[in-house]
Structure 1
C-alpha cells in the first residue's frame, strides 16, 4: 500500500514538473502567439517607399523651372529701342542693330552677319491700308517670291509664334529653299498691325532670338 502511494505521488510530481516546463517555454516566446486567443501575431508590412517618386517629381519641377529661366534670359540684357521712322519700339538684344532702311520698313540685323536680318513694318489700325488677313496673305506672297516660288507653310505650333503681352492675334508662315530660310509673322495689337519677315539660313541659330524680339514690338 505504501509503495502504491509512493508511485502515485511520484507520478503526480512528474506531471507538475512537466506542466511547469511547458509554461516556462510559452512565457519565453510571448511574440509567437496572441495573448488573447492564441493566434499568431502578424507583423505589419513595410509601407511602400516614396523617396524615388518624390525625387523624380522634384527633378521634373527643377527641369521645368530651368527651362522657364532660360526663356526669360533671352531678353535679359535687351534694350528698348525706338524706331527712327515708325511709331514703335522693340527690345533689342546685344549683338543686333535696328536701322531704318526705307520709309515704312526697318531692319533688325545681326552685327556679325548683316545678311541675316528681320524686316519690321507697322501700320496704325485707324490708318491701315490692309486688314490683318490681307497683310498675312501678302506676306505669304513675299515668302514665295523670296524662295523662287516655294509654297509657304503656315505655322500652327504656338511655340514658334511671338507670344508677347498685348498681342491679340498672330499668324505665321515659313518657306525654305536653296536661297535660305524665310519666316514671317503678322501680329495685331490694340493700336497697330505689325509684320515681320526673317531672312536667314535654314539652320540659323538666330531664328529664336528674332522671334523673341518680334514679340516685344509695340
Structure 2
C-alpha cells in the first residue's frame, strides 16, 4: 500500500473523537445488594422445615438416590464458541472456511485461518492476512456512549472522499445474514491497484467501523467484511 494512502486514511480516521473509548466508567457497586440478597436467601432457607418425612412405622425415610445412568444435568459441556464457517467469493471462486473465535480488548470476532489480530491502540486492532500483511482490516470498536452511528458515518464519508471522490456505496445486505444489526452502511473506493472498503454498523450498544485494505489480485474484501460482522 502506498505511503500516501496510508497517511490519508490514518489522518482522517484520527479525526473522530473517541477519547471516551479509553475511559471506563466504574461499574456500580453491586456487592452490597448482592450480599443482602444472599443473606435474605439464607434466612428463608433456614426457616424452611427440612425434616425428612417419616414412614408409617415412625422411621425416617431415606432420600432417594439418583440413578447415575440417568443424566438430568441440563448444563452440558456444549462449547458456545464452537467454530462455524463462512462462504465467500475471491477472484471469481466460492470458498468456505471454518471460523474460530478470537478476542480483542472490547469484543470477540470469528476469524478464518490465515489471519492474525494485533492490537494497535485502545479500541483499535488490525486483522492482517498472514501471507501479505498489506491486506488487512482495521477494527474500531466503541459503545454508543462514545459516539453515534450518524457521526461515525459522516466521518467515514470524509475519509472515503479523501481516498477517492468517486467512492461508491457498497451493498452488504447479503452478508448480514442473521447478524442482529440496528444500523449498517458501507462504502468502497479504488486507489491504483488497491481497494478500500469501509463498513460502519451498530449492534446492541456497540458501534464498529471496519476499514479494509485489499489488493485486486488477492481479493479478500468479502471474507474480511463477513468476519467483521461477527463481532460481538
| Residue in structure 2 matched with residue 120 of structure 1 by the alignment | 139
| Residue in structure 2 matched with residue 141 of structure 1 by the alignment | 158
Whether 1:210 aligns to 2:224 is yes
Contact 1:95 1:110 in 2 (8 A): yes
| Residue in structure 2 matched with residue 82 of structure 1 by the alignment | 103
Task: Tell me the distance in 1 between the aligned counterparts of 2:118 and 2:172.
Answer: 30
Unaligned runs of 5+ in 1: 1-68
| Residue in structure 2 matched with residue 152 of structure 1 by the alignment | 167
Q: Which has the higher contact order (CA 8 A, sep 6+)?
A: 2
Contact 1:164 1:216 in 2 (8 A): no
What are the superposed Cα offsets for residues 111-161 of structure 1, whole Å, 9 maximum, x if unpaired?
011111000001112x22x2101101211222233x2x43321124623x5
What are the superposed Cα offsets for residues 17-41 of structure 1, whole Å, 9 maximum, x if unpaired?
xxxxxxxxxxxxxxxxxxxxxxxxx
What are the superposed Cα offsets for residues 79-118 of structure 1, whole Å, 9 maximum, x if unpaired?
10111xx311100110000110122210001001111100
More helix by share: 1
Shift of 1:75: 6.8
Contact 2:195 2:214 in 1 (8 A): yes
| Residue in structure 1 matched with residue 43 of structure 2 by the alignment | none
The alignment of Structure 1 onto Structure 2 pairs a total of residues equal to 143
Larger-gyration structure (1/2):
1
Let me know the Cα RMSD of the aligned residues.
Answer: 2.4
| Residue in structure 2 matched with residue 66 of structure 1 by the alignment | none
Contact 1:175 1:182 in 2 (8 A): yes
What's the TM-score once normalised by structure 2's chain length?
0.56
Whether 1:174 aligns to 2:191 is no
Unaligned runs of 5+ in 2: 1-84, 89-93
What's the TM-score once normalised by structure 1's chain length?
0.59
* Pair 106,75 (structure 1): closer, same or farther in 2 beyond 3 Å: farther
Q: Secondary structure at the match of 1:114?
A: coil
Contact 2:195 2:215 in 1 (8 A): yes
